[in-house]
């Protein structure tokens, strides 16, 4: 939270109590990939006076300064997760076609592919957004 506060200050943003509340929910729901509406529902419990517009605006702000990953699973909503280590590559997501569960793959595993692309295309890779679609162990 303190690290985030400093970063926000550098970028000219303040960590208001409402923004702090949103960030707190995102920190505690790590790995859940909540949509903005779901974040709003959680935040409302702690901070009842907050409006959906504030949640949208805060998520946009966090995204602009690179503190979130946006996850689009083509299900009509954007999901957000905090990305505090901005030098690290994004983790991958496994999406179950049957129950819709999202599983995180923490390992990058793409070093070989990245090196190949970088040399073959003379292209510097900063990050990637990889989703695998399939059937999870419970649905199998
Ligand atoms: Zn990578
Ligand atoms: Zn499943
Ligand atoms: Zn994730």
Output the domain CATH number for residue 137: 3.30.1490.190
Q: Per-residue pLDDT averaged across 3-32, rounded?
A: 88
Distance between Cα 76 and ligand 3 center (Å): 17
Same domain, 130 and 79: no
Q: Is the pLDDT of residue 124 over 90?
A: yes
| Average pLDDT score, the chain | 91
Same domain, 81 and 102: no
Same domain, 100 and 133: yes
Relative to the alpha carbon of 80, which ligand is closest? 3
- Give the tens place of pLDDT for each residue, 55-98: 999 999 998 888 888 888 888 888 999 887 778 899 999 999 99
> What are the angstrom distances between the C-alpha of 92 and each of 1, 84, 106, 130?
25, 16, 7, 5
- CATH number, domain of 36, equals 1.10.10.10
- Show the domain range for 58: 1-88
Distance between Cα 108 and ligand 1 center (Å): 5
With bands split at pLDDT 50, 70 and 90, how would you rate the model's confidence at 7?
Answer: confident
With bands split at pLDDT 50, 70 and 90, how would you rate the model's confidence at 99?
Answer: very high
Same domain, 74 and 16: yes
Relative to the alpha carbon of 105, which ligand is closest? 3
Three-state DSSP class for 45? Answer: helix
Q: What are phi and psi of 22, to 5 degrees?
A: -65, -45
Strand partners, 102: 95
Same domain, 69 and 7: yes
Same domain, 104 and 120: yes
Distance between Cα 16 and ligand 2 center (Å): 38
Same domain, 36 and 84: yes
Q: Around ion ligand 2, which residues have CB less than 5 A away?
A: 96, 98-99, 101, 136, 139
- Decide if 136 contacts 94 (C-beta within 8 A): yes
- Decide if 78 contacts 35 (C-beta within 8 A): yes
What pLDDT shows up at residue 96? 95
Distance between Cα 22 and ligand 2 center (Å): 29
Answer with the residue of higher pLDDT: 14 or 85.
14
The tally of domains found in the chain comes to: 2
Relative to the alpha carbon of 112, which ligand is closest? 1
């Amino acid at each position: 939270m303190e690290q985030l506060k400093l970063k926000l200050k550098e970028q000219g943003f303040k960590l208001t109590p409402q923004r702090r509340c949103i960030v707190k929910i995102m920190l505690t729901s790590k790995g859940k990939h909540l949509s903005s509406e779901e974040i709003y529902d959680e935040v409302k419990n702690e901070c009842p006076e907050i409006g959906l517009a504030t949640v949208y605006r805060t998520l946009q702000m966090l995204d602009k300064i690179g503190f979130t990953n946006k996850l689009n699973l083509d299900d009509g909503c954007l999901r957000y997760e905090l990305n505090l280590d901005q030098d690290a590559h994004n983790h991958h997501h496994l999406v179950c076609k049957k129950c819709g569960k999202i599983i995180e793959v923490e390992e990058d595993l793409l070093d070989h592919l990245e090196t190949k692309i970088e040399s073959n295309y003379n292209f510097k890779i900063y990050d990637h957004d990889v989703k695998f679609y399939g059937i999870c162990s419970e649905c199998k």
